[in-house]
Amino acid sequence: MNNDALQALVEAIARDDFGRTFKHHAYFNRRLRTTGGRYLLGSHDIEVNPKQYEAFGEAALIDIIKHELCHYFLHLDKKGYQHRDADFKALSKRVGAPRFCAPIESYASRANYIYVCTKCHTEYMRIRKVNTSRMRCGKCGGRLKEITKQ
């Protein structure tokens, strides 16, 4: 799928599910890493993560588009467009837009550091490095020790 096909799909979903027209641009953005899509407040454009489409197919892409269109239409109507707002929750429920998209990689595969408690031997996986002189075990309060990831 290319950007033109994505634009046509977004316009069709806006017309069919929302009963309104989408008047801005929708395109793929390969730089998105942790999100399925993004509504840009300034330009009113919608960016979509192509990795979601490649990993989960068109059904996941449609869910992402519905979610971003909820932000789009509510923002243009000057209503609550943020996730915590009642307007957003009601519109999302009405059109069947999910709150989150499925992660492409699991947390375990993304974790770069593994720490173990010296007291209770609980393991903690982390993506970012932890200051072991300040951080303690959440279960027993013991000291953490970094171990090498296999």
| Residues designated catalytic | 68
Q: Which residues define the annotated binding site for Zn(2+)?
A: 67, 71
pTM, full prediction: 0.74
pLDDT tens profile 34-46:
889 999 999 999 9
Q: How many residues does the chain have?
A: 150
Average pLDDT, stretch 98-106? Answer: 78
Q: Which CATH code for domain 3-95?
A: 3.30.2010.10
pLDDT of residue 104: 76
Identify the CA nearest to 57 among candidates 25, 99, 21, 9: 9
User: Please, what is the Cα angle at 99 between 26 and 3, to 5 degrees?
Assistant: 15
pLDDT of residue 77: 96
pLDDT tens profile 6-28:
999 999 999 999 999 999 999 99
Strand partners, 28: 48
